[in-house]
Amino acid sequence: MNLSIYSILKILFYSEQKISVDSFYMILKKLIKFSVLLFVFGVFSINPAYAQQQWDWHIAGGTVIDGTGEVPYQADLLIRGDSIGYIGDVDADTIRSEHFVNASGKVITPGFIDPHAHGDPLETPDFQNFLGMGVTSIVLGQDGSSPDVGALNNWFVKVKEASPTVNIAMLSGHGSIRSKVDVGKQDLTQKELKRMQKLLQLDLNAGAFGMSTGLEYVPGMYAGESELEKLAKVVGEANGLIMSHMRSEDDSRIEASLNELAEQGEFASVHASHLKVVYGEGEKRAQEILHHIDSFRDQGITITADVYPYSASFTGIGIVFPDWAKTKSEWQNALQERPEILRQFLQKKVAQRNGPGAILFGSGEFAGLTLEEAAEQENKSAIDLLMEMGPQSASAAHFVMDQELQDRLMLGKNVMVSSDGSPTMYHPRGYGSFAKMIRYYVNEKELLSLEEAIYKMSGLPAQTLGLKDRGLLQEGMKADLLIFNPAKIKDRATFENPHKLAEGFDWIMVNGTLIREGGEFNEKRNGQILRNRNASGK
């Protein structure tokens, strides 16, 4: 007797024909088997959430912007431990959760990833400046400078003990490696180069995501093509990334700087840090730079960039000094041997950078004053004051960028958002960059959709770094989450008051632990050390 389920049901409920005992048991057996299949299909296929009914968090009713740049959608999230367990429709009556969050009227996004940040987790592990603008992971070791090169594992142990609130990823600093090997301006010997490669390899083995360079600073500025390419090979073999503060960001030299970076891109993925065009103007110029970057991709080079949403940079006052007067000893020699040449250079450079009123000191004796104001206070000319201060006396905000140009750079396809900021830096970018991205580019200027902006702050940096378990809202990903109303996001930090926390990111989770609720931070710290799992030796 070979009957379908439909036939069985007809026989049992509608037919008056008699059936044998054997046939009855056969029919019963088929019905039981069918019921079991229905149960399994319903539990495990229709809604996986039912398969494991106990959850730590049930986030309901929100609009999911998942970090891919795709269209938002409505869904619930279930969290267990430090990970996202389920995204989809959830019947609250069929599960148990320790915590319930009603996200109706708000968006749920991944925690943001800052690919270029500064700060010391041993000194300021709270990092509320980053959390306040929705950042849950930061990348340190920038501009060629990093701690404990060659012994990064030791530093990781100290950071773990400090228990930071955000996740920490690290780069190995080229300048720090060069200093440890004690290389001067001269070309490297083979022994020195091998020593540098060894220190870099040790950091990569420990989990560094790559190497950073600061080619506009001492000692990175002394590195030549051969040195950089040989180190790039080490990074590439570890599937790492080279993040570069390039040789120059001046309008007349930006293409040459990108060309130098692209040469290293023959061996490893490369990334232009805080992309800007100093003295450049207009959307057309920005488009030329983006097209130049795209031309490298057409050649098979993996190249990306980050931009912070401000028209003023922040760096050492040494940026206005000539290459032959960057260090303390060089500056003192210049004062003795060629003071008038130094004076003429500074006069021309300061004028080129929009004058002494466009340099705002952020550290040192004159923090909070422009060079012009400090000179008036000291009853000296701006150039005389600079010559007395020297190249390593202070850092400053430099108002040298064109807003229209920078806005267009931000829209580049493979350009992500960074802060290039820290908890202590006298610049609003360390407290406002990611909030300004939503307030300015999405809400006010409408240059980007919200999902595009979120992608530039989460999915794209995760992809660039090679983070496999963060940056997206997907099942199995780590639960770094934000819940917020985009209309209420506001960056409050200004150049006059740069340390004001952003508003609107009132619900923040890091690795499944709630860090902020209702706009109030708690005492919990659950940031983790992030490591490049693709590095050789791992």
Structure-token match 């909070």, residue found: 368
Judge whether 39 lies within some domain: yes
Among 398, 395, 377, 386, smallest CA distance to 343 is for 386
At a CB cut-off of 8 Å and minimum separation 6, what does 325 contact? 331, 333, 334, 342, 391
Judge whether 526 lies within some domain: no
Predicted pLDDT of residue 28:
53
Summarised one tens digit per residue, pLDDT across range 471-498 is 999 999 999 999 999 999 999 999 989 9
The secondary structure element, H or E, covering residue 245 is: strand 241-245
Predicted pLDDT of residue 36:
44
What are the tokens at 468?
Answer: 């496999």
- My answer on whether 88 and 63 are in the same domain is yes
- My answer on whether 23 and 63 are in the same domain is no
- My answer on whether 343 and 393 are in the same domain is yes
Three-state DSSP class for residue 449: coil
User: Which phi and psi (to 5°) does residue 369 adopt?
Assistant: -110, 150
Judge whether 278 lies within some domain: no
Predicted pLDDT of residue 184:
77
Predicted pLDDT of residue 40:
42
Helix, strand, coil shares of the chain, percent, nearest 5, are: 40, 20, 40
Predicted pLDDT of residue 8:
46
Judge whether 388 lies within some domain: yes
Mean pLDDT of the chain: 91
Among 146, 147, 145, 127, smallest CA distance to 137 is for 127
Predicted pLDDT of residue 60:
97
Among 201, 211, 290, 275, smallest CA distance to 243 is for 211
Judge whether 32 lies within some domain: yes
- My answer on whether 71 and 39 are in the same domain is no
- My answer on whether 353 and 372 are in the same domain is yes
Residue where a domain terminates, one of 63, 88, 108: 108
Residue where a domain terminates, one of 340, 375, 398: 398
- My answer on whether 97 and 63 are in the same domain is yes
Domain that holds residue 9: 5-46
Judge whether 254 lies within some domain: no
Residue where a domain terminates, one of 398, 416, 451: 398
pLDDT by residue, tens only, the chain of 538 residues? 444 443 444 444 444 444 555 555 555 555 555 454 444 444 444 455 454 589 999 999 999 999 999 999 999 999 999 999 999 999 999 999 999 999 999 999 999 999 999 999 999 999 999 999 999 999 999 999 999 999 999 999 999 999 999 999 999 999 999 999 988 777 789 999 999 999 999 999 999 999 999 999 999 999 999 999 999 999 999 999 999 999 999 999 999 999 999 999 999 999 999 999 999 999 999 999 999 999 999 999 999 999 999 999 988 999 999 999 999 999 999 999 999 999 999 999 999 989 999 999 988 999 999 999 999 999 999 999 999 999 999 999 999 999 999 999 999 999 999 999 999 999 999 999 999 999 999 999 999 999 999 999 999 999 999 999 999 999 999 999 999 999 999 999 999 899 999 999 999 999 999 999 999 999 999 999 999 976 544 4
- My answer on whether 385 and 326 are in the same domain is yes
Structure-token match 């809400």, residue found: 443
**pLDDT > 70: percent of the chain:** 89
- My answer on whether 319 and 377 are in the same domain is yes
Judge whether 253 lies within some domain: no
Identify whether 309 is preceded by a cis peptide bond (ω within 30 of 0).
Answer: no
Summarised one tens digit per residue, pLDDT across range 109-121 is 999 999 999 999 9
User: Which phi and psi (to 5°) does residue 27 adopt?
Assistant: -65, -45
Predicted pLDDT of residue 12:
46
- Contact between 260 and 224 under an 8 Å Cβ cutoff? The reply is no
Domain count, the chain: 3
Distances (CA, A) of 227 to 26, 193, 463, 490: 79, 7, 27, 44
Predicted pLDDT of residue 187:
78
- My answer on whether 319 and 388 are in the same domain is yes
- My answer on whether 56 and 74 are in the same domain is yes
Tell me, what amino acid is at 207? G
Our CA angle for 249, 118, 495, nearest 5°, is 70
Among 537, 510, 504, smallest CA distance to 525 is for 510
HSE of 198, CA atoms in CB hemisphere, 13 A:
8
- My answer on whether 363 and 326 are in the same domain is yes
Query: What's the gap between Cα 521 and its chain centre?
Result: 22
Predicted pLDDT of residue 490:
98
Summarised one tens digit per residue, pLDDT across range 128-180 is 999 999 999 999 999 999 999 999 999 999 999 999 999 999 999 999 999 99
What are the tokens at 39?
Answer: 């149960």
Judge whether 319 lies within some domain: yes
Three-state DSSP class for residue 306: strand
CATH of the domain at 87: 2.30.40.10
